[in-house]
Amino acid sequence: MRLRTSCLAVASVPLLLAACGGGSDDNNGGTTAAPVARVEAERCAALAQAALPESSTVISATYNAQPVTVSGTSVTVPFCRIVAASKPTADSNIGFEVWLPPAASWNGKFQGVGSGSSAGSIGTAAMLVALRDGYAVMATDNGHVTDASQPNGAAEQTWALGHPEKIIDFAYRAQHVSTVAAKTLTQRFYDKAADKSYFVGCSQGGHHALMEASRFPDDYDGIVAGAPAWQWANLMVAELWNSMPNLQNPGAITAAKMTLLNNAVIQACDAQDGVTDGVVDDPRQCNFNPAILQCSGADAPNCLTAQQVDAANRIYSGARKSTGQQIFPGYMRGSELGWTGLYTGATPGGSGWDFFRYSVFQNASFNNATFNFDTDPDRAFNTLVSGQTVASVYNATPNLAAFRARGGKLIMYHGWADQQITPLSSLDYYQQVQTAQGGAGTDSFLKLYMLPGIGHCSGGPGVANIGGSTGTAAAADPQHDVVRALDQWVAQGTAPSTLIGTRVANGAANRTRPLCPYPQVARYKGSGSIDDAASFSCANP
């Protein structure tokens, strides 16, 4: 049985319930704030008794007028924190939180934020970004809590063993039911519905972004989907494919050799775009052959063994059957530094390690090292989960007709150096949407940005900071912040064009570069600093 609680944390108001601990699960921020906060606190407390749709209930509603720490995130602005749960099935236990800024700070909009990996926690850091920008914001744990004792960390999926409804919750349902309930709470708190609703996520959050657009087109007016794991089931095969050399022959790929390989790739392909800047702008044009580095004799630090050359080519080529049939596209030259930890350890990182054992084959003893790439992918994709195939449960579709018809707008982005989800998968999705929506008309509701030198959601030698899930935007305007670009598109009808990305080192910006809507690319004008966006312009390739 869940107990509903409400707490008032307001200065000079003797209503603080000592048992509430100031509203933080980690740190008691104390009681302060002007008397004007009392009204906000009372409205917040009243939400503890709110009746919610989608089998949802409020567990606690706490107004925090002073800084608090929530799950490691320090929140320094006042807000109403709602902890809630949803049980759409008897086997479901979906946790979510809603953070509501004071009425005077609210921008009139709602934002859902996504998570990453196998998503067993609430993304409080992403919630804080939205809260500071004035959004009523929601995040969910997608129906389960990560078991920290498991060796696979946030990617563990032991929760799926014997729980088919939790699999459905994780794949798409939790995001939807949490969104509907959170919007209801937002309307109750402010006495009006949000004017616009946006969803922002990368990786698993990007996957859920496209699930929302395709399955629940009425949930959000605009969506930012970064590095989306939209073919989740296929991606899991790719993670095993990339890890197989080390699974079968420990030490086949080492971190030191990945640095050697990456340096050689950059040296060979960096200047192809006309600028030597440490970034491979479009790795599809890079044909570097790792065999150039193969040792002529014994293994040495400055060369690759034949086995290491084969492992690199395997990752570049992508998961496939022995017939050559592609299961998931290959990874890009230039992403090698990110392979460390994912594909170089005795136990690979990523969600693929647990996916087939717990989510698909329901066999904790399944040996991933024996995975048969000719037969096991089809067996996995066609396995039934609550009457649906694994592929249909986990993979988003390119059918965005309903989202487009209701005026929805979608911005996708993907780093060319993504080591975890190949950027070719986003190009594939974009092209499938174009085919489904009639080619050129796609541009009226979907923009894709390919980010040179950017790793998985962030990081890498490129200009990674564009807001959203990539890092703090360099400026609070639509050209530097992808979320503000989306807002301007939805609310004002001004479609985004060129964005400006920023690279930050030691807390300071040291490079800016235009990011062009696909298929355009940034071209150097021939003069000016290569670290200044003004020295480049967008052009067709």
User: Which residue from 76, 75, 40 is spatially nearest to 61, judged by alpha carbons?
Assistant: 40
418, 426, 469, 535: the catalytic one is: 418
List of residues 6+ apart from 436 with CB closer than 8 A: 398, 399, 400, 401
Of the candidates 516, 334, 502, 309, the one whose C-alpha atom is nearest the C-alpha of residue 423 is 334
Is 480 catalytic? The answer is no
Burial of 450 from C-beta contacts in 10 A (0-12 / 13-18 / 19+): buried
For residues 169-205, one letter each, b for 16 or more C-beta atoms within 10 angstroms of the residue's C-beta and e for the rest, the string is: bbbbbbbbbbbbbbbbbbebbbeeebebbbbbbbbbb
Structure tokens at 333: 């030259």
Cβ–Cβ under 8 Å, residues 7 and 20: yes
Q: Which position among 56, 121, 197, 203 bears the catalytic label?
A: 203
Helices 204-215 & 174-190 angle (0-180, nearest 10) = 80
Task: For 159, list phi and psi in degrees, rounded to 5.
Answer: -60, -20
β-strands 446-451, 409-415 pairing: parallel
The residue type at 527: S
Judge whether 322 counts as a catalytic residue.
Answer: no
Is residue 203 flagged as an active site residue?
yes
Q: Measuring CA to CA, how many Å separate 497 from each of 369, 485, 525, 533, 538?
A: 46, 9, 19, 14, 10
Of 456, 458, 469, 480, which residue is the catalytic one?
456
Query: Residues 6 or more apart from 454 whose CB is under 8 A from it?
Result: 415, 416, 417, 418, 460, 462, 463, 464, 470
Query: Could you tell me the two tokens for 56?
Result: 């949802």
Q: Which positions are annotated as active-site residues?
A: 203, 418, 456
